[in-house]
Structure 1
Amino acid sequence: MNLNLYIANKIRKGEVTGKKLAGPVIKVATLGVTIGMVVMILSLGIGTGFKREIRNKIVGFSSHFQIINYDYNTSLETNPIERDSVFVNQISQIEGVTRVQEFATKPGLIKTTENIQGIIIKGMGTDFDWNFFNSIIIEGERPDIYQSTTSNDIIISSTLAKLLKLKVGDRVPTYFFQEKIRPRNFRISAIYDSHLPEFDKLYVFADIRHIIKLNNWNENQITGYEITLDGFDLIAPLSQQIDLLAASRISPDGGLLRSTTINQQQPQIMGWLDMLDMNVTVILILIILVAGFNMISGLLIIILERTSMIGILKALGKQNWNIRKVFIYLATFIIAKGMIWGNIIGIAICILQHQFGIIHLDPDNYYLDSVPVFIQPLPIVYLNIATIIISYLMMIGPSYLITRITPVEAIRFD
Structure 2
Amino acid sequence: MNYELFIAKRIIASKRYKSSISSPIIKIAIIAIALGITIMMISLATGFGLQQKIREKLSGFNGHVQITNFDNNNSEITLEPVSTEQDFYPEFSTVSGINNIQVYATKAGIIRTASDFEGIIFKGVASDYNWSFFKDYLVEGVLPNYSEEVSNEVLISKEIANRMQLNLGDTCNILFVKKDTNKPPWLRVVTIVGIYNSGFQDFDENFVIADIRHIQKMNRWEANQVGGFEVILNDFNEIESKSDEIYLQTSSTLNSISILEKYPAIFEWINLFDNNIYLIIAIMILVSGINMVTALLVLILERTQMIGILKALGSNNLSIRKVFLYNAGYLILKGLFWGNLIGFIILFIQYKFEIINLNPETYYVDTVPIAFNIVYILLLNIGTLLLCLLMLIIPSIIVSKISPAKAIKFE
TM surpasses 0.5: yes
C-alpha displacement at 1:328, in angstroms? 0.9
C-alpha displacement at 1:379, in angstroms? 1.6
Task: Give me the whole-angstrom Cα distance separating, in 2, the residues matched to 1:59 and 1:230.
Answer: 12
Task: Give me the whole-angstrom Cα distance separating, in 1, the residues matched to 2:91 and 2:350.
Answer: 41
Contact preservation (8 Å) 1:159, 1:200: yes
Pair 1:361 & 2:357 matched:
yes
**Matches for 1:185-204 after TM superposition, within 5 Å:** 185-187=188-190, 188-204=192-208
* Deviation readout 1:214-266 (Å, 9 max, x if unpaired): 222122111111010112112123122111012xx26xxxxx11111011122
C-alpha displacement at 1:406, in angstroms? 2.8
4+ aligned runs moved over 6 Å, structure 1: none
Corresponding letter in the other structure for 2:105: A
Q: Could you say which residue in structure 2 is the equivalent of 1:176?
A: 177
C-alpha displacement at 1:63, in angstroms? 0.8
Q: Could you say which residue in structure 1 is the equivalent of 2:100?
A: 99
Pair 1:137 & 2:138 matched:
yes
| Greater CA drift, 170-179 or 11-20 | 11-20
Pair 1:239 & 2:243 matched:
yes
| Greater CA drift, 315-324 or 51-60 | 315-324
Corresponding letter in the other structure for 1:229: L
Corresponding letter in the other structure for 1:183: W
Task: Give me the whole-angstrom Cα distance separating, in 2, the residues matched to 1:192 and 1:93.
Answer: 35
Which structure 1 segments of 5+ residues have no match? Answer: 251-255
Task: Give me the whole-angstrom Cα distance separating, in 1, the residues matched to 2:63 and 2:308.
Answer: 69
Which structure 2 segments of 5+ residues have no match? Answer: none
C-alpha displacement at 1:89, in angstroms? 4.6
Task: Give me the whole-angstrom Cα distance separating, in 1, the residues matched to 2:202 and 2:208.
Answer: 13
Pair 1:46 & 2:50 matched:
no
Q: 2:317 aligns with which of 315, 320, 335?
A: 320
Q: Could you say which residue in structure 1 is the equivalent of 2:121?
A: 120
Corresponding letter in the other structure for 1:228: I
* Deviation readout 1:327-369 (Å, 9 max, x if unpaired): 1111121122333443344345545544x23534245464434
Identity %: 38
Q: Could you say which residue in structure 1 is the equivalent of 2:401?
A: 404
C-alpha displacement at 1:61, in angstroms? 0.5
| Greater CA drift, 26-35 or 16-25 | 16-25
**Matches for 1:14-413 after TM superposition, within 5 Å:** 14-15=14-15, 20-75=20-75, 76-89=77-90, 91-92=92-93, 94-148=95-149, 150-168=150-168, 169-180=170-181, 181-187=184-190, 188-246=192-250, 249=251, 256-347=253-344, 349-351=346-348, 353-354=350-351, 356-362=352-358, 364=360, 366-411=363-408
Task: Give me the whole-angstrom Cα distance separating, in 2, the residues matched to 1:18 and 1:340.
Answer: 19
Query: In structure 2, the residue corresponding to 1:178 is in which secondary structure?
Result: coil
Seen in structure 2, the aligned counterparts of structure 1 residues 289 and 397 have a Cα distance that, compared at 3 Å, is same
Contact preservation (8 Å) 1:171, 1:186: yes
C-alpha displacement at 1:71, in angstroms? 2.2
TM-score by length of 1: 0.89
C-alpha displacement at 1:34, in angstroms? 2.7
Task: Give me the whole-angstrom Cα distance separating, in 2, the residues matched to 1:360 and 1:257.
Answer: 44
Task: Give me the whole-angstrom Cα distance separating, in 1, the residues matched to 2:18 and 2:61.
Answer: 68
C-alpha displacement at 1:412, in angstroms? 5.9
